[in-house]
């Protein structure tokens, strides 16, 4: 079997970071308060960044900071200072899209590993090799429009010292590797400056006056038409192909996602990779139905395989979100089977509900018994205020950091059936 692939998870804030680490990420990527492409994520200030990196290293994992905004000249001093703060905090690398910014960081912080962002649109070995030799880049985050065959060919032309990373799960941008002008044109908020308003997710009607009679096909559901909204990416079923192509790192999108999303998706990919790399493809294939069901329990749009097997058809048209289960609570204390554990409520559930506890090893189903208010000891049938502390007993041991979920009462049955699995 090939070299172990890194599972790289998003960490939009401290809560998501803890979920990523606990549920099996090998590395995380996160932004600071400036110069990243997710300005509206929680992100980390200088003090919190040091705490986050220390926690990541305590798990034996890597922390990469995103500095992938396309900077103007006036931004360069601030970007340099932010990178220096990240270096002082002990980050393991910086993700950079702008070549001038990368050159500046190589000169100013020669010990900082540089990962070239997908927004640099690297699609061939000559560009990748130049960035490796001239800038000392140690990793290329590949353009999202490359097929697996393209990646194989690139890998065969590059030295082992240059790593290749690719997105394998999560939301996709309809624009070329995320370099979009639509948000800036319609709202004045540039996606290339970290402030994307996601106008591609809005509903549109399209008329092209110079091509009369040529109808642009629209995908429509009960919510409307989403011509520009790209399908989510999902490569869970194709991990052997990703491994064979020579990828070093598999990247999950989602720095704007919740800790529940991160835990669910990272946990599923962790189990899949462990089965594939430790027990072989047969064990991995046998577990796929359960793992795919696991992914459906987190919020997602309809998905396909992106460009890995050629241009996706259709490339866009994905409507609203769906998920089969809902995040209802956090387990915040350890407890043996039959003993009371403290749960912090996220969403309402009731005594008698069929629930699951999500753990790093998978999910465990049970029926909710008596619910007691932690502050008063009063037994209640339900609690409706987020943040309420409940005492609950479980038929199995639980640990702080486990997540509690229940059926999504608003689910429309669009989960697994919505995945096209296009190749």
Q: pLDDT tens-digit profile of 398-408?
A: 999 999 999 88
The average confidence (pLDDT) of the chain is 88
User: How far is 170 from 232, CA to CA, in rounded Å?
Assistant: 5
Label the pairing between strands 139-141 and 163-170: parallel
Same domain, 112 and 166: yes
Q: What pLDDT, in 10s, does the model give residues 9-40? A: 999 999 999 999 999 999 999 999 777 655 55
Q: What pLDDT, in 10s, does the model give residues 204-251? A: 656 677 877 765 655 555 555 556 778 899 999 999 999 999 999 999
Residue 193 lies in a domain: no
Q: Is the pLDDT of residue 154 over 80?
A: yes
Same domain, 278 and 153: yes
Residue 207 lies in a domain: no
Residue 108 lies in a domain: yes
Out of 260, 279, 298, pick the residue that ends a domain: 298
- Containing 187, the helix (H) or strand (E) segment is helix 182-187
The CATH number that applies at residue 401 is 2.40.30.10
Residue 201 lies in a domain: no
| Range in 114-123, 181-190, 299-308 the model is least confident about | 181-190
Q: Is the pLDDT of residue 418 over 50?
A: no
* pLDDT attached to residue 174: 73
Instruction: Give the bridge partners for 343, in sequence order.
Output: 331, 390
Same domain, 257 and 399: no
Could you give the dihedral angle defined by the CA atoms of residues 56, 59, 60 and 61, in that order, rounded to the nearest 10 degrees?
A: -40
Under 8 Å between Cβ of 7 and 250: yes
Same domain, 251 and 292: yes
Same domain, 294 and 381: no
| Range in 39-48, 103-112, 354-363 the model is least confident about | 39-48
Label the pairing between strands 6-10 and 249-252: parallel
* pLDDT attached to residue 423: 46
The phi and psi torsions of 131 (rounded to 5 degrees) equal -65, -35
* pLDDT attached to residue 178: 62
Residue 224 lies in a domain: no
Under 8 Å between Cβ of 273 and 237: no
Q: How far is CA 421 from CA 40, 233, 305, in A?
A: 31, 9, 6
Same domain, 294 and 331: no
Write b or e for each residue in 268-302: b if 16 or more Cβ atoms lie within 10 A of its Cβ, otherwise e.
bbbbbbbbbbeeeeeebeebeeebbebbbbbbbbb
Same domain, 135 and 265: yes
Same domain, 139 and 273: yes
* pLDDT attached to residue 183: 67
Same domain, 261 and 332: no
With cut-offs at 50, 70 and 90, classify the pLDDT of residue 317: low
Residue 215 lies in a domain: no
User: How far is 364 from 369, CA to CA, in rounded Å?
Assistant: 15
Same domain, 262 and 374: no
Q: Is the pLDDT of residue 46 over 90?
A: no
| Count: domains in the chain | 2
Residue 178 lies in a domain: no
* pLDDT attached to residue 39: 57
Out of 298, 314, 345, pick the residue that ends a domain: 298
Q: Is the pLDDT of residue 282 over 50?
A: yes
With cut-offs at 50, 70 and 90, classify the pLDDT of residue 196: confident
The CATH number that applies at residue 268 is 3.20.20.70
Q: Is the pLDDT of residue 414 over 50?
A: no
Same domain, 292 and 343: no
Instruction: Identify the residue with better confidence: 49 or 226.
Output: 49
Label the pairing between strands 114-116 and 139-141: parallel
Same domain, 266 and 366: no
Residue 181 lies in a domain: no
Q: What pLDDT, in 10s, does the model give residues 86-114? A: 999 999 999 999 999 999 999 999 999 99
What is the pTM (predicted TM-score) of this model? 0.86
Under 8 Å between Cβ of 118 and 178: yes
What's the average model confidence in pLDDT over 287-303?
Answer: 94
With cut-offs at 50, 70 and 90, classify the pLDDT of residue 415: very low
User: How far is 26 from 12, CA to CA, in rounded Å?
Assistant: 16
Q: Residue 400: give the domain boundaries.
A: 325-407
Q: Is the pLDDT of residue 5 over 60?
A: yes
């Amino acid at each position: 079997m090939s070299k172990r692939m890194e599972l790289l998870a998003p960490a939009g804030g401290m809560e998501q970071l803890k979920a990523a680490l606990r549920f099996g990420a090998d590395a995380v990527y996160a932004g600071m308060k400036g110069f990243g492409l997710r300005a509206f994520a929680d992100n980390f200030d200088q003090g919190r960044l040091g705490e986050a990196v220390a926690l990541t290293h305590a798990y034996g994992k890597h922390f990469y900071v995103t500095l992938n905004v396309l900077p103007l000249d006036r931004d360069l001093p601030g970007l340099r200072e932010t990178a220096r703060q990240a270096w002082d905090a002990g980050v393991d690398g910086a993700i950079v899209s702008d070549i001038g910014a990368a050159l500046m960081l190589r000169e100013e912080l020669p010990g900082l590993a540089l990962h070239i962002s997908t927004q640099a649109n690297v699609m061939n070995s000559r560009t990748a090799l130049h960035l490796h030799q001239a800038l000392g880049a140690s990793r290329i985050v590949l353009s999202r429009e490359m097929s697996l065959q393209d990646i194989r060919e690139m890998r065969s032309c590059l030295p082992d010292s240059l790593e290749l990373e690719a997105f394998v799960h999560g939301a996709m941008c309809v624009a070329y590797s995320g370099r979009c002008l639509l948000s800036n044109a319609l709202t004045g908020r540039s996606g290339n400056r970290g402030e994307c308003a996601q106008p591609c997710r809005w509903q549109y009607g399209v008329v092209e006056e110079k091509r009369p009679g040529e109808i642009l096909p629209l995908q429509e559901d009960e919510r409307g038409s989403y011509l520009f909204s790209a399908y989510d990416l999902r490569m869970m079923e194709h991990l052997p192909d990703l491994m064979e192509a020579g990828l070093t790192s598999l990247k999950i999108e989602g720095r704007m996602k919740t800790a529940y999303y991160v835990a669910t998706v990272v946990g599923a990919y962790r189990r899949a990779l462990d089965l594939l790399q430790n027990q072989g493809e047969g064990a991995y294939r046998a577990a796929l139905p359960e793992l795919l069901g696991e992914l459906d329990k987190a919020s997602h749009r309809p998905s396909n395989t992106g460009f890995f097997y050629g241009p996706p058809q259709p490339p866009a048209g994905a409507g609203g979100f769906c998920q089969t289960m809902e995040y209802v609570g956090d387990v915040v204390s350890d407890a043996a089977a039959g003993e009371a554990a403290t749960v912090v409520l996220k969403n309402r559930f009731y005594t008698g509900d069929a629930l699951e506890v999500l753990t790093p090893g998978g999910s465990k189903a049970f029926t909710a018994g008596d619910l007691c208010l932690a502050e008063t000891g009063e037994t209640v049938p339900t609690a409706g205020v987020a943040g309420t502390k409940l005492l609950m007993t479980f038929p199995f041991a639980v640990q702080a950091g486990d997540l509690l979920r229940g059926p999504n009462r608003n689910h429309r049955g669009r989960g697994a059936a919505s995945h096209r699995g296009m190749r």
